[in-house]
Amino acid sequence: MAAQTAIDNDADLLGFIYFSKSPRHLPIDSAHALMQQARQHASMRANKVNLVSVVVNPDNELLDHIGRELKPDFIQLHGHETPERVADIRARLNVPLIKAISVSSKDDVTAARAYEPLVAHMLFDAKPPKDAALPGGVGAKFDWTLMEGYKGSAPWFLAGGLDPWNVADAIITAKAPMVDVSSGVERGPGLKDASLISNFLKAVKGI
C-alpha cells in the first residue's frame, strides 16, 4: 500500500482525495478503510502521521459526512472557497483546515493573507491549465521564486509538479517549510509508485 511506504519513509501527512473527477477519488467507505489501515500501520511503527481529506468547493453535507465518518486530522480545501466560506467551514467543523491557493502571479501569493487567520496551513499550488478537469493533481509547476519574501503566519506547503528529482531545488528556491505531492510519485494517473514515494521522501529529508 502506498500509504505504508509513505509512513515507512516518515511522511508527516497523507492526503485522501474526495473529488469525483479525479483518478484518485476515494468514496467515503474506501477512504475510511484506507485511513484505518494507515493509522494502524503508523501506530505499529510508533510514527505520527496526520491524515488529510482533500475536497473541492464542498457543501456542508459533504463536510459533515467527512468530519463524522473519517475524522481526518485536517481538511484541505482545494477549490475556489472564499475567505467567507472558509470562515463558515471553520465555525462549522472542529477540524483544522489547509487552504490551497492557485498561483500564477505574485498577487495570488498576496491573496493568501485573507485566509491566514482562518486556517492551520496555506498550500500554494500551480494554477491549472484553463482546460484542466482538476484544480490540482495535474503535475503543473509554478515559478517558485514567486514565494520569495512570503513568510506566512504558519508553516506552509509548496505543491504543484513536484517530483523526486526537482523537490530539493524547489524547497531551496521557494524556502518552503513543507511540500505536498500527488502525480509526481505516480507511474500513471492515480497509480502511486512505492519507489517514487520513497525517493521523494529521501530527497526531502536529505536537505
Ligand X SMILES: O=C(O)c1ccccc1N[C@@H]1O[C@H](COP(=O)(O)O)[C@@H](O)[C@H]1O
Residues within the interface to ligand X (CB under 6 A): 15, 17, 19, 22, 24, 54, 56, 78, 123, 125, 134-140, 159-162, 180-184
C-beta closer to ligand X: residue 43 or 82: 82
Residue 187 dihedral angles phi and psi, to the nearest 5°: -95, -5
- What 3-state DSSP class applies to 6? helix
C-beta closer to ligand X: residue 43 or 169: 169
Least separation in angstroms between CB 46 and ligand X: 26
Using Cβ positions, the residue closest to ligand X within the complex turns out to be 137
DSSP codes of every residue in 57-86: S--HHHHHHHHHHH--SEEEE-S---HHHH
Least separation in angstroms between CB 44 and ligand X: 25
C-beta closer to ligand X: residue 24 or 41: 24
C-beta closer to ligand X: residue 7 or 74: 74
97-103 and 121-126 strand pairing: parallel
- 8-state DSSP, 113: G
Q: Position of cell 490551497?
A: 100
Contacts of 145 (CB under 8 A, 6+ apart): 173, 174
Q: Which residue(s) pair with 16 in the sheet?
A: 53
